[in-house]
Structure 1
Amino acid sequence: MNHAPDPVLAAARWQPASRPGLLPRQAIRSLVERGCLRAAVPLDDAQFQPASLDLRLGAYAYRVRASFLPGARSRVEDKLEALQWERIDLSGGAIFERGCVYVVELSERLDLPAHVSAAANPKSSTGRLDVFTRLITDRSEAFDAVEPGYSGPLYAEVSPRTFSIKVRQGTRLNQIRFRQHGRGADEAGTLGDQALRELHARSPLVDADELAVRNGLVLRIELGGLGPQNLVGYRAQRHTDVIDVERIGGYRPEDFWEPIPARPDARLILDPNEFYILASKERLHIPPHLAAEMVPIDPAMGEFRVHYAGFFDPGFGYAPSGHPGSRAVMEVRSHEVPFNLEDGQMVCRLAYEQMAEEPDALYGAIGTSNYQGQALKLSKQFIQP
């Protein structure tokens, strides 16, 4: 049963981190211990990432006619009654067909303190399968955003775009991160360009002497060729078998993807509505006290989308001993018209945000770090070369 948040009770059972910013995994565990984050099924240790928590599908999915937001006065459950087409039992596994929209109540629910908000995004593997996933809450007017003090259930909207997928109760498709808010001048926010330059001078954020910034760190596309096959990316095939998202390393890439070799002119023309996996020219180093999110660089620069799952945990590509870093892998789709990309072209940017505390384990040091040190890499469901 939903109930209004009690700020006094929430504050009494929540011990804040040392400063405003994104909460690390140990603080997320504290949310669980204090009852601010609960689950129908006990949380698994593998769900805790350095700065986020993996969310799990619940027992039932609802196939609906269209995507929706409940609005400021409605619950998701109320909207489902009007839009529901079919209820699907996920306990034994079920197929989510491409082109269809599903809403699933998640196992986790929240009772947040008044000064803690949350935001969600697809997991990296979800984005690389072209599965469109967004978080919905009761009485919300925006996807993937949870207001401070929210008390209630969480839902995932899931819409496979290219491949039909098999999921089951407990499947993890998206993740949530929590933000502690300060008061007045001590409120944390994203780092400005000058702060990024100064940080890069002390500890490189990318493997380049100069930092390209434009309201965040600019990323450029790699079209010169990577690896022994000199590839620049992969284009998804349109008619393939179903992908079981729990089957790790179980599929041959050639059954689902067309490799794209580098061209002598180092360019690539994106076909409208085709789905591509490409990589950044830069290798990233996300330091322990920061996390980063990939955001569009400027809609006026091209009608294409360059990310679905663009959150980078502290420690991604980072090591004090001079690790070479990890490229950002991008899920790319052109809209309406063909679009020409050239090697080194700006395609997106990273917005960096302070952690409230450094996490007790960094990305790359936990067992679920599937993409540390990556170059051009498909999702974990595929056999890796």
Structure 2
Amino acid sequence: MNGVLPDSEIRALIDRGAIAADPPILPEQIQPASLDLRLGATAYRLRASFLAGRGHRIADRLAELRMHQMDLDGGAVLERGCVYLVPLMERLTLPAGLTAVANAKSSTGRLDLLTRLVTDDGTEFDRLPEAYDGPLYAEICPRSFSVLVRPGMRLNQLRLRRGQAVLNDAELRDLNDRESLVGGPALIDNGLGFSVDLRPRTGDLVGYRARPHSGVIDLDRIGAYPATEFWDELRTTEGRLILDPGAFYILVSRESVAIPPNYAAEMAPYLAMVGEFRVHYAGFFDPGFGIGTAGSGARGVLEVRCHEAPFVLEHGQVVGRLVYERMAARPDRLYGAGIRSNYQGQGLKLAKQFR
């Protein structure tokens, strides 16, 4: 069946050797609709970001673009504003009929840690064509905070697709009628639109802005860092917020959303012409996200960066959309059910490293 491959089919590909790794893939890397990818033992500091290009290998391009090589064993700091390339432990031999797409994990995006998948013969980031056979690399650019990384850390994840999986607007409306994907009226236009919440039901805290010149974040340390050392709280009772050029913000959607068990979703930007800002689309939304005992959904955390000019963001302004995809089969496990899921039932929430 066409659609996004569930955990059972990912395991089958691993057993067949289509997804291989050294050391072998761990059970906890397999998510309901994706596979976490692990950093290898070496990082290369680059002069600039790059794509290999048709007919070229990443390894051949490194000679002209790398500045120095770093050993990640024991931990190494990736500095803010620099670009690094890290070979991943996993490699792919995609069978006919399968393509793949990668994206940063949720915590990676909330740290403003730009992480993209690059490959041999690659002409775009995060996309792997049918029959790709080769190694995988993560390009990492810390934009707000310097981070400490080690081999085996998982910053991005891979989703595999068979055929056409994306729902068109008519199919999405039908799914919403059956499953109530969003709390409140659904704006469906090339996906399920969501807006920003700048009038919280309680209090006046609407988001956070990354503080410049903060310390290093060890990505393995969960709940270890006081949020106030890295973030400024944003409070307003006016329902609007002025975004500063170059600043990075954590905000939250007004809507609560849900991903039914036979579907997955991906956050995408809305329209470039709606303002001088961009909502970073870090994560996949796994089957079961936002579905709990009450079925009330979970709000989407928005990773926002303002561009050239200050911009006034208004409460209820549409800033992004969720693109829903069919699963090829129902996963064995759902997000938040029997697996550690840091953001199930979330509201406005920073990355898991902060307290």
Q: Offset at 1:111?
A: 0.7
Given that 2:281 and 2:303 are in contact with CA atoms closer than 8 Å, whether structure 1 keeps it comes out as yes
Aligned-pair identity (%): 55
What amino acid is aligned across from residue 220 of structure 1 in structure 2? S
Equivalent residue for 2:36?
Answer: 54
* 1:223 maps onto 2:205 in alignment: no
1:251: Cα distance to partner?
A: 0.6
Checking the alignment, whether the CA contact within 8 Å between 2:192 and 2:323 is kept in structure 1 is yes
Shift of 1:366: 3.8
- Partner residue of 1:206? 182
Q: Distance in 1 between matches of 2:140 and 2:338?
A: 27
* Equivalent residue, structure 1, for 2:123: 141
Q: Which residue does 1:303 correspond to in 2?
A: 276
- 1:332 and 2:308 correspond: no
Structure 2 partner of 1:374: 346
- How far apart are 1:304 and its partner, in Å? 1.0
Gaps of 5+ in 1: 1-18, 182-187
Equivalences for residues 232-381 of structure 1 within 5 A? 232-263=206-237, 265-319=238-292, 321-381=293-353
- CA distance in structure 1 between the aligned counterparts of 2:285 and 2:222, rounded to whole angstroms: 21
Number of residue equivalences: 355
**Native 8 Å contact 2:100 2:158 kept in 1:** yes
Contact kept? 1:306, 1:347, Cα under 8 Å: yes
Whole-angstrom CA distance in 2 between matches of 1:336 and 1:38: 43
- What is the SS of the residue equivalent to 1:29? helix
Number of the residue aligned with 1:151: 133
Question: Contact 1:226/1:232 (CA < 8 Å) preserved in 2?
Answer: no
Q: 1:226 to 1:144 in 2, by over 3 A?
A: farther
Per-residue CA deviation, residues 52-102 of structure 1 (Å, 9 max, x unaligned), is 111000010000100000101100000111111111001111000000000
The residue aligned with 1:6 is none
Q: Moved runs in structure 1, 4+ residues, more than 6 A? A: none
- CA deviation string 1:243-262 (max 9, x = no partner): 00111111110110011113
Q: For 2:245 and 2:167, locate their aligned partners in 1 and report how far apart those are by CA, in whole Å.
A: 34
The aligned counterpart of 1:88 is 70
Give the whole-Å Cα distance in 1 for the aligned partners of 2:165 and 2:260: 16
- The aligned residue for residue 170 of structure 2 is 194
Which residue of 1 is the match for residue 100 of structure 2?
118
Structure 1 residues 226, 143: closer, same or farther in 2, change over 3 A?
A: farther
1:278 partner SS: strand
**How far apart in 1 are the matches of 2:241 and 2:156?**
30
Report how far residue 226 of structure 1 moved.
5.5
| CA shift in 2, pair 1:151/1:160, >3 Å | same
- What is the TM-score of this pair, normalised by structure 1? 0.90
Structure 2 alignment gaps of length 5 or more: none
Contact 1:23 1:357 in 2 (8 A): yes
Matched, 1:107 2:81: no
Cα distance in 2 for residues equivalent to 1:171 and 1:85: 23
Post-superposition Cα deviations, 1:207-242, rounded to whole Å, max 9, x if no partner, equal: 11x211111101010000255x43110001001110
How many Å separate the matches in 2 of 1:107 and 1:238?
Answer: 32
Judge conservation of contact 1:267–1:343 (CA < 8 Å) in 2.
yes
What is the CA distance between 1:303 and its match in structure 2? 2.2
SS in 1 for 2:41: strand
Alignment TM-score, normalising by the size of structure 2: 0.98
Q: Given residue 215 of structure 1, which amino acid in structure 2 is its aligned partner?
A: N
Aligned equivalents of 1:206, 1:328: Cα separation in 2: 11
Contact 2:268 2:281 in 1 (8 A): no
Contact 2:165 2:327 in 1 (8 A): no
The CA RMSD over aligned residues, in Å, is 1.1
